[in-house]
Amino acid sequence: MTMMMTKTRMKRSMTMVSVLRATRTDQDLTMVPPGHRTRRRPSAGALVLQRALRGHLRKMSGVFNSLLTPEKRAIRRVVELSRDKSSYFGCLVQDYLSYMSEGAGTQAWQGYASGLELLQTLRQFITQMKSYLRQSSELEPPIESLIPEDQIDQVLEKAMHKCLLKTLKPVVSVALKEFQVRSGEWLELKENLALAKARLPQEMGVADTLPPDPVAIEKIKHKFHTMIKLYSPEKKVSVLLRVCKLIYTIMEDNSGRLYGADDFLPMLTYVLAQCDMPQLNNEILYMMELLDPSLLHGEGGYYLTSAYGAMSLIQNFQEEQAARVLSSETRNTLHQWHRRRTTQRFAPSIDDFQNYLRVALQELDSGCTAKTLQVRPYASVDEVCRLCAQKFKVSDSQNYGLFLVMEGNSQQLAPDTHPQKIKAELHSRSQATPFHFVFRKVVPSAAALDLTPNLYNLTGTPDPLDDLRALSRDLSAPPPSPLSSGLSPTLSLSLPTTNGNSISV
């Protein structure tokens, strides 16, 4: 009997505890089935606190923005503009990023003969965008109001690194290695690094001083790994500069005397061999081709060429005899590189900005799929259709055509017309109208596809700028023939043909 009473009391106590738990904190918690979590309702005080914190954070953000240096404010504004596809600059940057990144960049690789050509094209695009921004009215406030005239170029350079290289660095790194693997250079470099690493310092030309010890080598490797993660060529060169100065310091501390360039190159070659990092070869190429030419004349440019020379010695390393001096071929390559990178280039013409075209594939069963294609300024519709058939993997391409879709209307373009010129003409209008190029099957007009609903999710290219005209003041050829196929007379082209320096890939 006593045991039954005890059990009853225990059940009552447990029930009371459950009720108390369910009703504590003014019924903020509700009873839920086993296995389910309870959700706490925010009290009025908590909501007030959240709103106050949000307002405080907004104010803090405003204060933070006001504390930014003029340089950082200018860079931020350029980056924001590059993401705005309603601006012409944003369209150019986003189309280029889309082209380079589609299919993890494999589409872009197929158009280049080598990693060097890829980097040169990327450098040219950066230069072109800087030139465009200096003559454009899209930046608000104008960059001249934030940055002194003599600093504008370097600020725009940093901004373009953030707009382009921050996104493309992983793609470019993979592409450069792929080019090396395909050519056999990657395997050869790894083998030569292993051979050079096994050699004594004296066999590598190091004399009269002790090389860095294993601890120092690990420290240098750590710096190189940090350098590889950076996307800015300028910051990469800064890390390389610190590494080279560290090597100089070790040489002088170990011997008690100063050393010149002739002594430094063998030591740098030995250190790179001990680091055993074949990816450094592509990192050096990345810096050499993408670094702002104005920075090649200073200390960074000197150490960059030294690093290139050291890697060249390792690449041409022979097991039977360690090369201690640069070959005449390497010296000639360095001279040609320096002349090419430091020679003043002409301002890009309007054609330089006409190399990318956004085209949508329209199918009855799968809707629209858009790709950014590389199209020459004077490529015909027939050429663009062949490219579209290849990129979209269309087998019966003879039944397809290229159409211009705008304001709900679709018009097939004649085979001998030029889509890039049409795009430029539409951009040059005072009041821009969104438009799209569509690659689809040619059907009788009575059974024409209704394209408009499926194109709302595609990226248009509105908002033309008269500033592009300023980039080609010397253009004076007669206008080409107007479009055929019954297009409106207002769509006749007025852009002259030129011999501008367009990007060729």
pLDDT per residue as tens digits for the range 83-104: 998 888 999 999 889 888 875 5
CA distance 68 to 60: 13
Of 122, 157, 178, the position where a domain reaches its end is 178
CA distance 423 to 457: 19
User: Which helix (H) or strand (E) is 402 found in, with range?
Assistant: strand 400-406
Asked if residue 39 is part of any domain, the answer here is no
Give the number of other Cβ atoms within 10 Å of residue 348's Cβ: 22
pLDDT score for 278:
96
Question: Is 301 found in the same domain as 197?
Answer: yes
Domain ranges, residue 261: 184-342
Question: What region, left, alpha or beta, does residue 27 occupy, with left being phi > 0 and alpha being psi -120 to 50 degrees?
Answer: left
Q: Is the peptide bond preceding residue 266 cis, with omega within 30 degrees of 0?
A: no
Tokens of 156: 């725009």
Query: Residues near 55 by Cβ (< 8 Å), separated by ≥ 6?
Result: none
Q: With 80 as the cut, is the pLDDT of residue 218 above it?
A: yes
Asked if residue 293 is part of any domain, the answer here is yes
Indicate yes or no: pTM above 0.75: no
- In the chain, % of residues over pLDDT 90: 32
Pairing state between β 356-363 and 435-441: parallel
pLDDT score for 255:
79
Is 300 within 8 Å of 221 (Cβ atoms)?
no
Asked if residue 347 is part of any domain, the answer here is no
- In the chain, % of residues over pLDDT 70: 64
Distances (CA, A) of 309 to 108, 239, 244, 262, 466: 29, 18, 13, 12, 46
Residue range 463-490: mean pLDDT, rounded? 35
Is 379 within 8 Å of 458 (Cβ atoms)?
no
User: Which helix (H) or strand (E) is 363 found in, with range?
Assistant: strand 356-363
pLDDT score for 263:
83
Q: Which of 179-188, 218-227, 279-288, 437-446 has the lowest mean pLDDT?
A: 437-446
Q: CATH number for the domain including 234?
A: 1.20.1050.80
Tokens of 32: 């839920």
Q: With 90 as the cut, is the pLDDT of residue 247 above it?
A: yes
Asked if residue 450 is part of any domain, the answer here is yes
What φ, ψ does residue 269 adopt, rounded to 5°?
A: -60, -45
Of 130, 162, 178, the position where a domain reaches its end is 178
Confidence of residue 40 (pLDDT cuts 50, 70, 90): low
CA distance 307 to 240: 9
CA distance 103 to 45: 51
CA distance 456 to 179: 38
Tokens of 364: 């009855």
Question: Is 214 found in the same domain as 162?
Answer: no
Confidence of residue 59 (pLDDT cuts 50, 70, 90): low
pLDDT score for 373:
81
Question: Is 112 found in the same domain as 80?
Answer: yes
Residue range 300-329: mean pLDDT, rounded? 74
CA distance 480 to 335: 43
Tokens of 311: 């890697």
Question: Is 101 found in the same domain as 156?
Answer: yes
User: Which helix (H) or strand (E) is 422 found in, with range?
Assistant: helix 419-427
Of 178, 210, 235, the position where a domain reaches its end is 178
Q: With 90 as the cut, is the pLDDT of residue 481 above it?
A: no
Q: Which of 289-293, 324-328, 433-437 has the lowest mean pLDDT?
A: 324-328
Q: Which of 32-41, 42-51, 159-168, 248-257 has the lowest mean pLDDT?
A: 32-41
Distances (CA, A) of 271 to 86, 104, 187, 191, 415: 50, 34, 20, 16, 59
CA distance 434 to 463: 8
Tokens of 110: 């197929």
460 compared with 184, residue with greater pLDDT: 184
Q: With 80 as the cut, is the pLDDT of residue 422 above it?
A: yes
Asked if residue 37 is part of any domain, the answer here is no
Q: Which of 64-68, 150-154, 394-398, 408-412 has the lowest mean pLDDT?
A: 64-68
Question: Is 220 found in the same domain as 299?
Answer: yes
Question: Is 304 found in the same domain as 243?
Answer: yes
Q: What is the mean pLDDT of the chain?
A: 75
Residue range 483-488: mean pLDDT, rounded? 34
Question: Is 198 found in the same domain as 92?
Answer: no
Long-range contact list for 192-196, CB < 8 A, 24+ apart? 192/314, 192/315, 192/316, 192/317, 193/273, 193/276, 193/278, 193/314, 194/276, 195/317, 195/319, 196/269, 196/270, 196/273, 196/314, 196/317, 196/322
Tokens of 288: 């050499």
Asked if residue 207 is part of any domain, the answer here is yes
Question: Is 147 found in the same domain as 81?
Answer: yes
Residue range 7-29: mean pLDDT, rounded? 49
CA distance 492 to 74: 39
Question: Is 419 found in the same domain as 288?
Answer: no
How many domains does the chain contain in total?
A: 3
427 compared with 179, residue with greater pLDDT: 179
Question: Is 101 found in the same domain as 79?
Answer: yes
Question: Is 188 found in the same domain as 315?
Answer: yes
Question: Is 97 found in the same domain as 144?
Answer: yes
Asked if residue 483 is part of any domain, the answer here is yes
Asked if residue 221 is part of any domain, the answer here is yes
Q: In what order do the strands lie in the sheet with 356-363?
A: 367-374, 356-363, 435-441, 400-406, 409-412
Query: Residues near 229 by Cβ (< 8 Å), separated by ≥ 6?
Result: none
Residue range 333-348: mean pLDDT, rounded? 59
